[in-house]
Structure 1
């Protein structure tokens, strides 16, 4: 009796779907993760089984891949010990007892081993021209090393000027190494300028190479999202801006120019940022990296003495680290919370924490872009507006471009600035970095920045929002179902 191929497939396919469906359901039941993420996956798998199963096999597990996973585990004790060694530098570290928001610093210190480092001078740069021109000035003065990590590197405009400065630095003997994300910088990594930099002695490594043929063995959407520049071990930058000139970047998206900041840091915490870069570099290249002296001599007395704690996060780091840190920061607020984020799809826990803070009398402000380059995120974020507006949270829509700055200011004093968006991707999937500063003077700088954003924003009218059409509510709820996976 001959059985046609179609009949065999007709028998086997339902069996495979059933076996994989049961297996994945069991895996989800025993996996430690947010309930919302588990429910979202179960919904997808049972509503569209074949697509859902394939999607889970590709995207459901946070897998660095065998080589990177083993490298991370091997390097973690080495770097954790080196970070912790800063505690031995009595002139550089600040004990938790002297910090007003000491539980947050204690949490970060305990989970990643990085202490709060003193004697740093911090200044916010809030325009692309100022950021890149200041970097160029520092690059022109570099004598021994320049280390960079970026998600996106895109040629054009001011970036070409910075590239020229890097080539001049390389020709006078400065060691330069640049780590770029495979997806975010894919156009640059295939360009003539990329090869030109290599030909001039600048080392460039591709982070988290995207390979569709290996998608069942490691996640293809884990991304290197950090933005770090360290020059001569003492000057550094971190913040939200990719290496792009916004006048030339994503103009087709019709969201206006991207609005970003970088914080220029002068002081010993630059070594911590260099350590984060070196860890990522070593994980990609398997090269031995000579760690820097544990107690560096201060080159000069800074004008300010900001204490800064660097908080790296991402695959391999404690998975709930960012969520715990944000919840602790929000719960510590007594007077005010102001948040800027381009992508606002937080967990229900964080949204509830913001609503609760508002109910207990804290003035909570969200500054979000009016137009977003992500259609799915824009619709999913609106789901939280009802709950937040009802609790008294003030939601402002920035109207003068895509506000890409990621900042949180608590009580005009505690500042969290870096690369982390308020979404599940930043909390769990991307390699990110955040700087935490408990300092009134720097808090005033962040407050002045956010006040400027508010002047370019419109306050949402809760009564108008509640009267929006039913079809909009439908799409908000539909995309919200996928929010843990965005």
Structure 2
């Protein structure tokens, strides 16, 4: 070895820690200077310090604040401005709707007023809503409506997988394109990463296809921001929203090892306006081929009417506030009798946890239903770490044992229903693109409550005695996974 290199090597052996210390100090100072949520700040510092090397890479790819988030904020401002301008002429009608809701819903009408005041969504009445339990109920309805489409089909899904369901849907879309129907499809690039050959097939046939935020090595840092929405819109007056992706795992046909419990809704009426707006904005944000939001896409006087009032809570990484979480908080704070929550992942913010505890301690019947076994080891144990304070304050917790509980629903006082893509976790509130339909319909709420009772029969009711008797290993694992909760 060249003798001139020996002093350099000796120096590196003795002082190698100095550049590493400078790098670590610089990153930690940067995290502190960003003035994030203190819990999240501490979580990132722990990851970086106790996972040397790996923690740095993890932070580099998923922890830094990127200019993409500023783009999200601009998108969010444009959406709110668009909503405000578009609905100006309808203000008198919307104000009247709110007055009616004040009389019929009482304090719970604050949910609709909040969404309206924040220019997120509008309270539209006289919709028809149908509750769809599991994929085996949703997909036949969806395929039937697509078969009857006359003008356009707009689809936006987090997961689109090839299989029995995915292949059948592709064939239907190709058929409708051949008939002259306009088909636009947005899939999340992370959730639908395997959809390659099918993409080419659809694009060659004339389906306008977009991958939302494509994940490439140069953009892997942005892969944390995902479009978790599941929306289908047909001819501007009919839509589907809920937790059900395009995948065979959602149909319980005895071919899958795990029973998959999920919930969606079919909506007909003026509220589909709101989804069309959102799809149009997301399409153009994703650099889709420009199209005008003409009368062909906005059906102002749909023939089908019902008794449901529907609005939507939406949020994304650029939202000035976590609107989906705040909407849920408002509903919890105004509950008088009961709160029924289904969620696959329970990593709540302090605000949500406290609100549920206070509600239960105030005499409101608060019930939480979540899976006993999850599809994510870390999230599963992190979720369990949040249950003890709730159990101590009287929240009834049920662990679904029949299969995997994937439904994202809330029913308050048997009057107001939340059905959509929003999990009770930090990722849904702050990181993902999410949507929840807010439905005032006593019959829908009754059906949702009946389904909740049926699901409870397939679940284990746990109490504080049961929970504290769990092994030290289990409780310790929960606590360790909870350290990562702000990053999940």
Tell me if the contact between 1:64 and 1:315 (Cα under 8 Å) persists in the aligned partners.
Answer: no
Q: CA deviation at 1:161?
A: 2.5
- 2:302 is aligned to 299
3-state SS in 2 of match to 1:318: coil
- 2:75 is aligned to 72
- 2:405 is aligned to 403
- 1:155 is aligned to 162
Which of 341, 344, 347 in structure 2 is aligned with 1:342?
A: 344
Matched, 1:180 2:182: no
Matched, 1:203 2:208: yes
Between the aligned partners of 2:116 and 2:362, the Cα distance in structure 1 is 29
Tell me if the contact between 2:127 and 2:270 (Cα under 8 Å) persists in the aligned partners.
Answer: yes
Tell me if the contact between 1:149 and 1:227 (Cα under 8 Å) persists in the aligned partners.
Answer: yes
- 2:271 is aligned to 269
- 1:230-309 alignment to 2 at 5 Å? 230-246=233-249, 256-285=258-287, 287-293=289-295, 296-302=299-305, 304-309=306-311
- 2:320 is aligned to 318
Q: Which runs of 5+ in 1 are unaligned?
A: none
- 1:135-146 alignment to 2 at 5 Å? 135-146=142-153
Q: CA deviation at 1:44?
A: 2.0
- 1:437 is aligned to 439
131-140 or 233-242: bigger deviation: 131-140
Between the aligned partners of 2:448 and 2:294, the Cα distance in structure 1 is 31
* Number of residue pairs matched by the alignment: 479
Which of 79, 98, 103 in structure 1 is aligned with 2:101?
A: 98
Which of 32, 57, 61 in structure 2 is aligned with 1:54?
A: 57
Q: CA deviation at 1:182?
A: 0.6
Q: CA deviation at 1:122?
A: 0.5
Between the aligned partners of 1:247 and 1:414, the Cα distance in structure 2 is 26
Q: CA deviation at 1:321?
A: 2.1
Between the aligned partners of 1:82 and 1:379, the Cα distance in structure 2 is 45
Tell me if the contact between 1:212 and 1:220 (Cα under 8 Å) persists in the aligned partners.
Answer: no
Between the aligned partners of 1:226 and 1:66, the Cα distance in structure 2 is 18
Tell me if the contact between 2:130 and 2:267 (Cα under 8 Å) persists in the aligned partners.
Answer: yes
Tell me if the contact between 1:369 and 1:403 (Cα under 8 Å) persists in the aligned partners.
Answer: yes
Q: CA deviation at 1:252?
A: 11
Between the aligned partners of 2:262 and 2:484, the Cα distance in structure 1 is 27
Which of 330, 333, 353 in structure 2 is aligned with 1:331?
A: 333
Tell me if the contact between 2:115 and 2:313 (Cα under 8 Å) persists in the aligned partners.
Answer: yes
3-state SS in 2 of match to 1:163: helix
**Residues 73, 126 of structure 1: CA spacing in aligned structure 2 closer, same or farther, 3 A cutoff?**
closer
Q: Which runs of 5+ in 2 are unaligned?
A: none
**C-alpha deviations, 1:118-177, integer Å up to 9, x for none?**
221101111312211111111111111000000011122233323222222111100000
- 1:13-28 alignment to 2 at 5 Å? 14-28=17-31
Tell me if the contact between 1:153 and 1:243 (Cα under 8 Å) persists in the aligned partners.
Answer: yes
RMSD: 2.8
Matched, 1:355 2:357: yes
3-state SS in 1 of match to 2:385: helix
TM superposition score normalised by structure 2: 0.90
3-state SS in 1 of match to 2:265: strand
Tell me if the contact between 1:86 and 1:295 (Cα under 8 Å) persists in the aligned partners.
Answer: no
310-319 or 240-249: bigger deviation: 240-249
**C-alpha deviations, 1:286-323, integer Å up to 9, x for none?**
54342245984313251x23111112211112243233
Between the aligned partners of 1:380 and 1:463, the Cα distance in structure 2 is 20
- 2:126 is aligned to 119
Q: CA deviation at 1:285?
A: 1.1
TM superposition score normalised by structure 1: 0.90
**Residues 463, 113 of structure 1: CA spacing in aligned structure 2 closer, same or farther, 3 A cutoff?**
closer
3-state SS in 2 of match to 1:264: strand
3-state SS in 1 of match to 2:222: coil
Between the aligned partners of 2:404 and 2:126, the Cα distance in structure 1 is 34
- 1:459 is aligned to 461
